[in-house]
Structure 1
Amino acid sequence: MNLSYTPEEQAFREEVRAFMREKLPADIQAKVRGGKRLQKDDFVRWHKALNEKGWLAVHWPKEYGGTGWGPIQRHIFEEEMTAAGAPSIVPFGLSMVAPVIIKFGTEAQKQYYLPRILNQDDWWCQGYSEPGAGSDLAAVKTRAVREGDHYIVNGQKTWTTLGQYANMIFCLVRTNPDVKKQEGISFLLIDMDTPGVTVRPIITLDGEHEVNEVFFEDVKVPVENLVGEENKGWTCAKYLLTYERTGIAGVGYAKAALRHLKNVASRQLKDGKPLLDDPRFRAQVAQVEIEVMSLEMTNLRVVASVAGGGVPGAESSILKIRGTQVRQAITDLLRRAVGPYAMPFISDVFEAGSDVEPVGPEYAAPLASQYFNRRKLSIYGGSNEIQKNIISKMILGL
């Protein structure tokens, strides 16, 4: 297999770079590079700019308004987007529920929901995890009982990322409690404005309101909001998780974080010299750089296989494990690089336009917050322990 980029792929990279220079709003870029908090409007503006170019739905077929890109183009796009300081594309509508609707949904669902996702008419969130049903996702207890042309939904979801912005949620619900747990689950699309839906914030270790609890109390959901067959939602769930886990590997984000680590270590002094000149710290940086290079090569092998007609299986779990470990290792080294300046982070510093002065150098301000936030990477999308079980079963046959 040839891991070198073709002339056409190199030309595509230059096209992406030119687009980023021209269309990425400077204020959003400054927030991302400065570790400032992004608001809903920031994501929406960036999504609209990408959609205007036709570059928003990178995983969709062209007939539904997607880019029609192959895996290599998607890899290049992610890499250049993170290098430019662009915010991530919020995945819940574009990269998670949309592929499920495209594969399992009715024609009416495709015609209604897909244009609304592209146009930012709907902001989606994910209703998978529950108290007691996170890593063991098939243990969901949220019930949906059919009454005529509606389901009546009762239960609770948790760790609902950016649910405070959402007007739609895709949910795994239990529609048959009397069969094997994977066989009694359905996949429902629920309007968050329906009476009986309550969203409560969860404030995370880094002081962010990023995740939420969502409660359902006698929520009426039209039967036409069922995706796929009743009691066959586990098939939709597994299909969606393949997209999520591959994205969590975040090769582009790891490379951008590594560049930032080198920049910080070259500016931070130890005994009057740049920290990057310290042999022990330089060796740690070198080790994590080797791991990033290895991760990228593995990711390219996987996407090349997909481009040749293959289907990723346990490889997505391998990428998820190593990708999250590498990104966590980089944030740990960043925190260590600035020492005590990473400790007294003040929440208001991360608000754009705040006049609160950071403690220590400005580049140190967000590092503790980012370290705490990245602890989640090895948990969500299926914890790394669960991914190891998947690998052992699919590859080792254990």
Structure 2
Amino acid sequence: MADFGADSDLEAFRAEARAWLEENCPKSVRGQPGLAMVIMESGQLDGDLLSWKQRMGEKGWGVPTWPKQYGGGGLSQKEARVLQQEMAAIGAINPLNAGMGITMVGPTILDYGTEEQKQKHLPPIARGDIRWCLGLSEPNAGSDLASLQTKCEDAGDHWKINGQKIWTSGAQWSQWCGCLVRTDTKAKKHEGISFVLLPMAQPGIEARPIALIAGASPFCETFFTDAVAEKSDMLGPLNGGWTVIKRLLQHERASQTGAPSGARVTPLQDVAKKYLGVDEEGRLPDGDLRTRMTRHLMDAKAHRLTLARVAAESKGNAGPSNAASVLKNAATDIAQTRAELTLEIMGAQGLGWEGEGFTGGEIEAVRGWLSGKAMSIYGGSFEIQNNIVSKRILGLPDTTNSA
């Protein structure tokens, strides 16, 4: 590939990206943002969707800014934005953006991993060959994650892990797990924690899916009984896992602040015109709905502009800052508000769960509305994000014991 580092060459890269996407992205997977959920909630892909994933993995464009030596595309941030724009133009999604490998585990390995760990784990993530889950929350350690009790002991030539995790997204489909464990039971609770990487296909690990109201079961209870991790697969220093997990959660919150890469979403005003029609002046007939939609669209535009500003301000920084907590809450509010407005606009057609009386888009909207309720809980609850903002951005006094 030519060197497109200079701004003047971005249009040349745009032309290259556009031509490659046109040739390699199957038309059957374009213009279907619902496929992002299919990928997230499926253990196996097939047909054109599988071909698309394989082509993006071989190109390295599923992780466009990762270094080429680790399977990435080696693109600059500007080139990556151009690629995203061209994907959005044809309605193409990133088919590798499933599980936790690309959004969280991979970036954290780039931050803290040894060269051996990077060479071992990053290329399979970049190709989409390996799916990851994260063992973080426990039945008695949710918002206060540092209270976790899953125990990791030195067994000589390996680590031995015993305990239980909950809400482990995609554990039933994943080949690897990044797990937060207690390696020192006598140290202060934040200081006796480590982060280990371990394969899921072993007798000592059992994943049990948890049924959710939206119909899918992406979350699991995960049980560890003398599970084994190699000594070389501890990420970061022994008892230094709290620093690692804080960094990983920053990556998670940063990944939750915008729409999926390449997603083409029908403008809400177009949805409203389709279901409600317009008056003689071309306006939606319900003035109150117009007001609430306008407020929502202004919030969404402000969020997109803020994302662009934060990205520009972060140039040269090591990675996402505490601003990710602000953006995560804003993105959650915008997504949930859009879902509520969409169902209101659809009226009786916004009640569909299944059956011939509803279109696929209507059923998807209903299930998306239900699953979207969890957005203000997972990835750090709305309240936890507000605590982070108050302490680390506004400088208000810390009145809690949780991190």
TM range, smaller chain: 0.7 to 0.9
The alpha carbon displacement at 1:269 in A equals: 2.9
Q: Which moved more, 1:334-343 or 1:66-75?
A: 66-75
Query: Could you say which residue in structure 1 is the equivalent of 2:194?
Result: 186
Query: Could you say which residue in structure 1 is the equivalent of 2:368?
Result: 370
Which letter does structure 2 place at the counterpart of 1:376?
Answer: A
Cα distance in structure 2, aligned partners of 1:18 and 1:298 = 31
Which letter does structure 1 place at the counterpart of 2:156?
Answer: G
The alpha carbon displacement at 1:125 in A equals: 1.1
Query: Could you say which residue in structure 2 is the equivalent of 1:145?
Result: 153
Query: Could you say which residue in structure 1 is the equivalent of 2:27?
Result: 26
Query: Could you say which residue in structure 1 is the equivalent of 2:45?
Result: 41
Match of 1:239 among 230, 244, 247: 247
Distance change (3 Å), C-alpha of 1:360 and 1:311: closer
Query: Could you say which residue in structure 2 is the equivalent of 1:349?
Result: none
Count residues with an aligned counterpart. 383
1:305 aligns with 2:313: yes
Cα distance in structure 1, aligned partners of 2:395 and 2:324 = 17
Distance change (3 Å), C-alpha of 1:162 and 1:17: farther
Residue 307 of structure 1: SS of its match in structure 2?
A: coil
Cα distance in structure 1, aligned partners of 2:14 and 2:378 = 31
1:118 aligns with 2:122: no
Residue 188 of structure 1: SS of its match in structure 2?
A: strand
Q: Which moved more, 1:194-203 or 1:104-113?
A: 104-113
C-alpha contact (below 8 Å) 2:134/2:178 kept by paired residues: yes
Cα distance in structure 2, aligned partners of 1:199 and 1:311 = 32
Distance change (3 Å), C-alpha of 1:300 and 1:166: same
Cα distance in structure 2, aligned partners of 1:205 and 1:184 = 36
The alpha carbon displacement at 1:340 in A equals: 2.2
The alpha carbon displacement at 1:145 in A equals: 1.1
C-alpha contact (below 8 Å) 2:198/2:233 kept by paired residues: yes
Cα distance in structure 2, aligned partners of 1:264 and 1:81 = 22
Cα distance in structure 1, aligned partners of 2:278 and 2:329 = 37
Query: Could you say which residue in structure 2 is the equivalent of 1:390?
Result: 388
Query: Could you say which residue in structure 2 is the equivalent of 1:130?
Result: 138
Distance change (3 Å), C-alpha of 1:13 and 1:262: farther
Cα distance in structure 1, aligned partners of 2:105 and 2:295 = 37
Query: Could you say which residue in structure 2 is the equivalent of 1:267?
Result: 274
Which letter does structure 2 place at the counterpart of 1:262?
Answer: Q
Residue 49 of structure 1: SS of its match in structure 2?
A: helix
Distance change (3 Å), C-alpha of 1:311 and 1:37: closer
C-alpha contact (below 8 Å) 2:153/2:161 kept by paired residues: yes
Query: Could you say which residue in structure 2 is the equivalent of 1:350?
Result: none
Cα distance in structure 2, aligned partners of 1:31 and 1:270 = 24
Distance change (3 Å), C-alpha of 1:308 and 1:109: closer
Which letter does structure 1 place at the counterpart of 2:57?
Answer: N
Cα distance in structure 2, aligned partners of 1:303 and 1:36 = 26
Within 5 A, what are the aligned runs for 1:168-317? 168-251=176-259, 256-257=264-265, 259-269=266-276, 276-309=284-317, 312-317=320-325
Residue 320 of structure 1: SS of its match in structure 2?
A: helix
C-alpha contact (below 8 Å) 2:32/2:264 kept by paired residues: no
Deviations 1:285-323 (A, max 9, x none): 221111111011111111101125475422111111101
C-alpha contact (below 8 Å) 1:206/1:372 kept by paired residues: yes
C-alpha contact (below 8 Å) 1:342/1:366 kept by paired residues: no
Deviations 1:323-371 (A, max 9, x none): 111111111111111122222412xxxxxxxxx52x2455322211010
Cα distance in structure 2, aligned partners of 1:215 and 1:291 = 42
Cα distance in structure 2, aligned partners of 1:312 and 1:221 = 29
Structure (1/2) with the larger helix percentage: 1
C-alpha contact (below 8 Å) 1:345/1:369 kept by paired residues: yes
Cα distance in structure 1, aligned partners of 2:260 and 2:82 = 8
C-alpha contact (below 8 Å) 1:79/1:252 kept by paired residues: no
Q: Which moved more, 1:265-274 or 1:296-305?
A: 265-274
C-alpha contact (below 8 Å) 1:93/1:123 kept by paired residues: yes
Give unmatched runs, 5+ long, in structure 1. 1-5, 347-355
Which letter does structure 2 place at the counterpart of 1:328?
Answer: Q
Distance change (3 Å), C-alpha of 1:361 and 1:158: same
Cα distance in structure 2, aligned partners of 1:157 and 1:87 = 31
Q: Which moved more, 1:386-395 or 1:46-55?
A: 46-55
Distance change (3 Å), C-alpha of 1:362 and 1:220: closer
The alpha carbon displacement at 1:41 in A equals: 1.0
Cα distance in structure 2, aligned partners of 1:153 and 1:10 = 51
Residue 314 of structure 2: SS of its match in structure 1?
A: helix
TM-score between the two structures when normalised by the length of structure 1 = 0.86
Which letter does structure 2 place at the counterpart of 1:24?
Answer: C
Distance change (3 Å), C-alpha of 1:391 and 1:116: same
Deviations 1:206-228 (A, max 9, x none): 10122211111111222122112
Match of 1:54 among 38, 57, 60: 60
Q: Which moved more, 1:327-336 or 1:27-36?
A: 27-36
Distance change (3 Å), C-alpha of 1:266 and 1:44: same
The alpha carbon displacement at 1:144 in A equals: 0.7
Distance change (3 Å), C-alpha of 1:179 and 1:383: same
Match of 2:329 among 318, 321, 340: 321
